[in-house]
Structure 1
């Protein structure tokens, strides 16, 4: 079959949620298209297998950026390339953002996206191991859990945070106050719960749902101002699928604007330079990009604690693998970071503007593949970032060739707000490691190192030694204005029968990791689509 009612492009969190909801009606034919392959790699199920997955081109895209920062480095923005999308290769940290984020989204002229609209969605999709409450859901498809305890080293982190005035909590999503606790993660019984596990695999036996893997979408097919299908390649052979009702792009903040621009929907000057005929001059497709710039701090421990000695040698890795196989626990059954915290950089703020994550291991510089490598000597890793940056970058096609690389301009720390907030976050994190029982565990800071002191040195260290957050948003942002790419119902302006449903539609950054919010966004978007059916 090549004709469907709905054609969904991208099997990440939003796409899998949409496929689940839209195919619930047996009279509706749904196609879900994924450029990657089936999610059968055993490392996907193993939580800390993500370190290998991120460097593997068969499970992850690697999009190079323009050179930036004082060193002029190029970094690669990694995205999932398999069923489940980035939720199959990410660090599994689950948070929902702050209530005020969603209310701000609605206040920008996007009705239906406020916290009163979104909290019920989160409660519906969640199966939280902590049990049901006014803020938590149980019985939903997305399994999340929180460690009850951890390494004594991590308990010292929590104690140090408490000394700084941050409330220790079992449920980091229960409140938006300053807080610290063991990470809530999309893990259950030692296994990752990706979007494919949660939303897609339980319904793949529906006869009206077709999943096409190894299928790269090059363009949306337009006819008389309407999206009528997609064209692309499956295993190298040209394919085309027809959509009787809608084409829905859920390819992410890089993939969705790319497909729009290749289809002639985007800024006229960008399309002209790439040699693409303009179908709709939509100036903000690919613009308004926001991304978290992540500071990295590493510390040498005074004692043989944490995971380095275990995970840095083949023998230790085998031991950890045996423990995981026997119990589902140990270092390989944990999320990317064991402890997560949120805090305000100034006491006059009404809510946290910073996030940090800590793990009881430290890393060597990445090798060319991007795979994570562990240091042999005991260490700790801490990352931190400002939650709501206002610096804006862009993504744009560089050619009409769908295989040509995207032109990605991160534009980190372009505003005074972002620079000053980032510097304060860095200084607070240093104070954390110099506080209470945690301070006794630390021998010295290894990265970026004590020589980094001034504001300028801190910003440069963040640019040279930090990373992207893998949380890009905004490149197809929703809003009420004529030049907003999509409206509040996520319909693309200027083209009938076409929507975008993924992180690219967010005009402001959600305060934290995006896997949970994008899953809820996809579920909520299904309500909007079904209302119009």
Structure 2
């Protein structure tokens, strides 16, 4: 039963990285009524604030969506996304990366004017409060407070020195240049506390009388009349409410939920919709196609002697002591991002630009157990993750039911192209070369994952599928582009439906060479400019 209708100018669906920025920008005019709708709850859990508590949040179905996905034929995995205010920025690993000129200028060359580096860099600079201060490539004084993961375990200095021995430049700001480089990562952390999109953009404006945030409210469909989006239908606490939008409906629910919501609303591939029992409003074959995702491939090592975080965080006593130190000082391992050191590398000398990235941490993970958060080994170890930064393999997402509560079918299709397999194999071998280089080589007893027996190209690709992780960086399922086949245009307007936009990672037709939190916040800031100009 429908209980009521509430009216706003803008209805923004999803309070993640994009939604928080949009709420901040669109509600700046006191005469504009903005509704931000979030299916999850408020970000009140104390674990949201503690950086190293991210794994508890990711594995808790109260704070993260758990989507079943097909990594490869017959190989299943789970993709987690934030299910609370702040979205995935409230549960992620907090590594801050923007992509570079090659990424954003490439997006513009695909036929998307206004998305090049000369447009996006000033937006990043406006958002940032970087601890190194302002420069031509970074910002200071912005709402997004950042820090550098320095002062960690001595193993990190050894691995950085090994990278330097390989010719990689040591950098205090991995986002500042585009060469081969290694250094401590920049993180969305300040004073030992996570800085989510909600912290940076939403909470500071929550008292605006023209901004309404509806939590615990799941949008079930977009309401379209006469070819125009006029609002959304949502459910909360067993009640149904229609929210009317006099200006626009903006989907900011992410690369999984936004295409799913379009499809259950009748906008998508006609055959897919009919099989799911959905009436076809608009046949848009590309909704849900073009999915691209990073695959993070691990290597783990047993250390000679002690070192790293395993002895501290791998036992209840050690965890208690680390928690006490954090509570008293906001310092120690619990105050740091998921990984301490990052590198951008070329998979081979013949490549003229870094095409892979590494993340390195002075701990090693125990074999995963179903339903359990990340656990560490008890013996001393460390790990690295290798990622192909610009994969061109494409997967898909499709609904199987008209019920928006039924997870869509996600097919990742990792390493489907020769390019992705070649870059993976070469970059993985370079990561091994890093750990075999002094001084870090002198601290390592043996490789434990995937193990020295994994040498051939096919074996490395198979290990990547069997042991690797979803990068939590899905894009492309509502990709932007210049032709009618693309879901949205360069102003992020959904083709075929007036007053409807998508503003999240799903509109990016290609992956950037980094992480998605920063690009999505900058994308949303740029989108707000477009919305307010129309």
TM-score range, shorter chain: over 0.9
2:165 to 138, 158, 163: 163
Mind listing any 5+ residue stretches in structure 2 that lack a counterpart? none
Partner of 1:284: 286
Partner of 1:270: 272
Distance in 2 (CA, whole Å) between partners of 1:316 and 1:58 is 27
Partner of 1:387: 389
Partner of 2:208: 206
Write the deviation string for residues 45-90 of structure 1: whole angstroms up to 9, x where unpaired: 0000101111000000000013625xx3210011000000000000
Distance in 2 (CA, whole Å) between partners of 1:148 and 1:301 is 21
Once the two structures are TM-superposed, the CA of residue 348 in structure 1 deviates from its matched residue by 2.8
1:344 aligns with 2:346: yes
Instruction: Say whether the 8 Å CA contact 1:54–1:370 is kept in structure 2.
Output: no
Partner of 2:191: 189
* 3-state SS of 2:439 partner: helix
Distance in 1 (CA, whole Å) between partners of 2:230 and 2:149 is 47
Once the two structures are TM-superposed, the CA of residue 31 in structure 1 deviates from its matched residue by 0.3
Partner of 1:10: 14
Partner of 1:24: 28
* 3-state SS of 1:74 partner: strand
Instruction: Say whether the 8 Å CA contact 2:50–2:194 is kept in structure 1.
Output: yes
Write the deviation string for residues 239-277 of structure 1: whole angstroms up to 9, x where unpaired: 210000000000000000000000100011111111111
1:400 aligns with 2:402: yes
Once the two structures are TM-superposed, the CA of residue 365 in structure 1 deviates from its matched residue by 1.9
Once the two structures are TM-superposed, the CA of residue 235 in structure 1 deviates from its matched residue by 2.2
Partner of 2:255: 253
Write the deviation string for residues 454-492 of structure 1: whole angstroms up to 9, x where unpaired: 101100000001111000000000001101000000000
2:336 to 318, 334, 344: 334
What TM-score do you get using the length of structure 1 for normalisation?
Answer: 0.98
1:519 aligns with 2:521: yes
Distance in 2 (CA, whole Å) between partners of 1:261 and 1:453 is 43
Partner of 2:177: 175
Distance in 1 (CA, whole Å) between partners of 2:241 and 2:281 is 22
2:218 to 195, 198, 216: 216
Once the two structures are TM-superposed, the CA of residue 98 in structure 1 deviates from its matched residue by 1.2
Distance in 2 (CA, whole Å) between partners of 1:475 and 1:238 is 28
1:138 aligns with 2:140: yes
Partner of 2:431: 429
Once the two structures are TM-superposed, the CA of residue 187 in structure 1 deviates from its matched residue by 0.3
Distance in 2 (CA, whole Å) between partners of 1:350 and 1:13 is 32
1:62 aligns with 2:58: no
Instruction: Say whether the 8 Å CA contact 2:168–2:180 is kept in structure 1.
Output: yes
Say how many residue pairs are matched.
530
* 3-state SS of 1:521 partner: helix
Once the two structures are TM-superposed, the CA of residue 349 in structure 1 deviates from its matched residue by 2.2
* 3-state SS of 1:2 partner: strand
Once the two structures are TM-superposed, the CA of residue 13 in structure 1 deviates from its matched residue by 0.7
Distance in 2 (CA, whole Å) between partners of 1:397 and 1:237 is 24
Instruction: Say whether the 8 Å CA contact 1:227–1:496 is kept in structure 2.
Output: yes
1:239 to 232, 238, 241: 241
Give the alignment's Cα RMSD to 1 decimal.
Answer: 0.9
Partner of 1:496: 498
2:97 to 90, 95, 98: 95
Once the two structures are TM-superposed, the CA of residue 196 in structure 1 deviates from its matched residue by 0.2
Distance in 1 (CA, whole Å) between partners of 2:459 and 2:291 is 25
Distance in 1 (CA, whole Å) between partners of 2:295 and 2:71 is 15
Once the two structures are TM-superposed, the CA of residue 401 in structure 1 deviates from its matched residue by 1.3
Assess, with a 3 A threshold, how the Cα gap between structure 1 residues 523 and 341 changes in structure 2: closer, same or farther. same
* 3-state SS of 2:291 partner: coil
Distance in 1 (CA, whole Å) between partners of 2:521 and 2:34 is 18
1:35 to 33, 39, 51: 39
Assess, with a 3 A threshold, how the Cα gap between structure 1 residues 247 and 187 changes in structure 2: closer, same or farther. same
Instruction: Say whether the 8 Å CA contact 1:149–1:182 is kept in structure 2.
Output: no
1:441 aligns with 2:443: yes
Once the two structures are TM-superposed, the CA of residue 148 in structure 1 deviates from its matched residue by 3.6
Once the two structures are TM-superposed, the CA of residue 149 in structure 1 deviates from its matched residue by 3.1
Once the two structures are TM-superposed, the CA of residue 351 in structure 1 deviates from its matched residue by 1.3
Distance in 1 (CA, whole Å) between partners of 2:475 and 2:343 is 22
Distance in 2 (CA, whole Å) between partners of 1:404 and 1:368 is 21
2:508 to 503, 506, 509: 506
Larger mean CA deviation between 89-98 and 1-10 belongs to: 1-10
Write the deviation string for residues 178-226 of structure 1: whole angstroms up to 9, x where unpaired: 1000010000000000000000000000000000000111110010100
Distance in 1 (CA, whole Å) between partners of 2:442 and 2:162 is 11
Distance in 1 (CA, whole Å) between partners of 2:222 and 2:178 is 40
Mind listing any 5+ residue stretches in structure 1 that lack a counterpart? none
Partner of 1:293: 295
Instruction: Say whether the 8 Å CA contact 1:53–1:59 is kept in structure 2.
Output: yes
Distance in 1 (CA, whole Å) between partners of 2:300 and 2:149 is 23
Distance in 1 (CA, whole Å) between partners of 2:31 and 2:294 is 42
Once the two structures are TM-superposed, the CA of residue 370 in structure 1 deviates from its matched residue by 5.0
Write the deviation string for residues 257-300 of structure 1: whole angstroms up to 9, x where unpaired: 00000010001111111111111111100000000111111111
Once the two structures are TM-superposed, the CA of residue 301 in structure 1 deviates from its matched residue by 0.6
Partner of 1:83: 85
Instruction: Say whether the 8 Å CA contact 2:149–2:337 is kept in structure 1.
Output: no
Distance in 2 (CA, whole Å) between partners of 1:157 and 1:363 is 18
Once the two structures are TM-superposed, the CA of residue 364 in structure 1 deviates from its matched residue by 1.1
Assess, with a 3 A threshold, how the Cα gap between structure 1 residues 294 and 148 changes in structure 2: closer, same or farther. closer
Distance in 2 (CA, whole Å) between partners of 1:47 and 1:282 is 40
